[in-house]
Structure 1
Amino acid sequence: MLTWSSMQLGVDTVPVLVGPVSYLLLSKAAKGVEKSFSLLSLLDSILPIYKEVVTELKAAGASWIQFDEPTLVKDLAAHELAAFSSAYAALESALSGLNV
């Protein structure tokens, strides 16, 4: 049985990550957490993890990274839309040199 890596075939593999805002908006709070708790309040807590993953992908040779943000197809409140701008502005320096 032959197996080929993407490098042998001349195909670039693009890592795909669920974007940070959709990750939170699609999450459910743990049991015991009040329903009024805003999961978006955790955005600043998870962005360092996204930066670390992006840095590791760059170090591994990635030139492209794809962020999927499926919640963008929904009607979102102004504060939810603002979270996208905030998140990607915070990730901007980590994303430098990459095609996103």
Structure 2
Amino acid sequence: MMALSPMKWKKKGGLPYIDECSSYVPSGGMVRHKLDSVNECARRGYNLRITCGGCNRVIEANAVLMMQTLRGQSMALHKLEERAKCSECGHRGATVMPCEINF
């Protein structure tokens, strides 16, 4: 059995990384995430703030429960905006954006 060599950390732009094949994933600091689908919001711990385009009603939906409703299929937020229908006024079309979970 071959022993694995210890990881050799390098520095690029002041941030440590393993090698060029590691997709330059920083080991610390602030990271931006692309939150463009319901699944990404659920994975990163965000809820969805949905605002009706007709009556401006605002609800905060749990992204994990929304993902379960979609049966695990990923849906882009812009597609959800087109399909969303207000339960109060019946208007189809909304603004959907990620928001932090408030406990």
Give yes or no for TM over 0.5.
no
Query: TM range, normalised to the smaller chain?
Result: under 0.3
Larger strand share, 1 or 2: 2
TM-score by length of 1: 0.24
Larger helix share, 1 or 2: 1
Per chain length, whose mean CA-contact separation is higher, i.e. which structure has more relative contact order (CA < 8 Å, sep 6+)?
1
